[in-house]
């Protein structure tokens, strides 16, 4: 088995907000091309980055056992978001996180905060922001939980659709590869991820839209919670569903259609063209920054081993 590392647009362009780069497929396009060209046999994805619309000729039949889906709170100033002083600055490129934070405290300011985990922690320690949030799954996988201040439960910060899940994509009709993937698939994770992605698909959501959704299996039943919000947190709609695992996709679809009806036919008007504010000036160079721009690049080198979860395999 050969592992082939493929860098994507989302991995390489770090001086812009994800919203500016176009939203869908930023972490998957290059992998899709390699898969369809036969250069690789499977692609391994962080499911949070995978569009709900798959490239024709490909399928995603396998999810590995899921990590903890919650968000991690990291701050030297407050044990949790509710304890931050009014006017505090939070580093996050996520409109989902921003909307939920501002819904609880509209005086907070969220600024663009991209880069890998090490880069974000370095900037936090320099006092560029008062706090940041990261997916707990990433910290767990990188053995970096010593940096977290607290773990936020769903009622405080509902995670992104498919957060903490790894998926494996292959070519449609590739029976040999599908046999391998069938043995690797974790049914419980796949049921929950399929439910969440159906919710997102019904809303046609992407990184431009503050949408959150989580499903879990308890005593043989699927429990789903989802929300949409205006980016400034001024309006938020929530919904929930409970049902049998075999109905997971329909549960997610129904929940998404319910919230879509609440915002009306013009979703663009509801979500608006809101952007996370640019990051403040660098404490290293003193230059104003619009993301990672203005930083001493030598001080923020991203090593090959520090990238996102993802890649592809050639199976002999």
CATH number at residue 103: 3.40.190.10
Q: What is the mean pLDDT of each run of 10 residues along the chain (316 residues)?
A: 75 46 62 89 92 91 98 96 95 93 96 81 86 95 94 98 97 96 98 97 81 97 97 96 98 97 85 72 47 40 41 60
**Residue 172 falls within a domain, yes or no?**
no
**Residue 227 falls within a domain, yes or no?**
no
- Strands (E) in the chain, as ranges, are 2-4, 42-46, 58-63, 71-74, 89-91, 109-111, 131-135, 150-152, 166-171, 211-218, 221-229, 236-243, 310-314
Give residue 264's pLDDT: 86
**Residue 112 falls within a domain, yes or no?**
yes
Please tell me the total count of domains within the chain. Answer: 1
Please tell me what DSSP assigns to residue 227.
E
Give residue 315's pLDDT: 61
Give residue 311's pLDDT: 60
Q: How far is CA 196 from the centre of its chain?
A: 12
**Residue 252 falls within a domain, yes or no?**
no
CA nearest 226: which of 205, 236, 211?
211
Give residue 268's pLDDT: 78
Give residue 297's pLDDT: 39
Q: First vs last Cα of the chain: how many Å apart? A: 6
Tokens linked to 76: 């030297």
**Residue 115 falls within a domain, yes or no?**
yes
CA nearest 61: which of 193, 214, 254?
193
Give residue 159's pLDDT: 98
Q: Which residues are catalytic?
A: 49
**Residue 267 falls within a domain, yes or no?**
no
**Residue 58 falls within a domain, yes or no?**
no
In terms of residue numbers, what domain contains 137? 71-159+275-300
**Residue 188 falls within a domain, yes or no?**
no
Placement of tokens 């974000």 in the chain: 120
Tally of helices (H runs) and strands (E runs) in the chain: 10, 13
Give residue 295's pLDDT: 38
- Cα separation, 42 vs 311, in Å, equals 9
């Amino acid at each position: 088995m050969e592992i082939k590392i493929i860098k994507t647009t989302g991995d390489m362009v770090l001086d812009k907000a994800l919203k500016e780069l176009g939203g869908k497929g930023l972490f998957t396009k290059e992998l899709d091309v390699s898969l369809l060209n036969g250069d690789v046999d499977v692609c391994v994805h962080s499911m949070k980055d995978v569009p709900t619309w798959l490239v024709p000729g490909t399928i995603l039949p396998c999810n590995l056992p899921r990590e903890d889906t919650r968000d991690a709170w990291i701050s030297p100033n407050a044990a949790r978001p509710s304890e931050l002083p009014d006017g505090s600055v939070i580093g996050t490129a996520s409109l989902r996180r921003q909307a939920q934070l501002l819904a609880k405290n509209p005086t907070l300011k969220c600024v663009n905060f991209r880069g890998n985990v090490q880069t974000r922690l370095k900037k936090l320690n320099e006092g560029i922001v008062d706090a940041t949030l990261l997916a707990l799954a990433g910290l767990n996988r990188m053995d970096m939980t010593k940096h977290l201040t607290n773990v936020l439960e769903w009622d405080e910060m509902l995670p992104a659709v498919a957060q903490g899940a790894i998926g494996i994509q292959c070519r449609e009709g590739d029976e040999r590869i599908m046999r391998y993937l069938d043995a690797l698939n974790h049914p419980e994770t796949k049921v929950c991820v399929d439910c969440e992605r159906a919710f997102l698909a019904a809303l046609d959501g992407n990184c431009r839209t503050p949408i959150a959704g989580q499903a879990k299996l308890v005593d043989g039943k699927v429990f789903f919670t989802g929300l949409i919000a205006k980016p400034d947190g001024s309006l938020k709609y929530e919904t929930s569903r409970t049902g049998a695992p075999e109905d997971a996709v329909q549960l997610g679809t129904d929940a998404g259609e319910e919230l879509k009806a609440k915002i009306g036919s013009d979703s663009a008007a509801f979500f608006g063209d809101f952007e996370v504010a640019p990051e403040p000036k660098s404490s290293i160079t003193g230059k104003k920054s619009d993301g990672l721009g203005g930083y001493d690049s030598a001080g923020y080198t991203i090593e090959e081993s520090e990238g996102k979860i993802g890649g592809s395999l050639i199976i002999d």
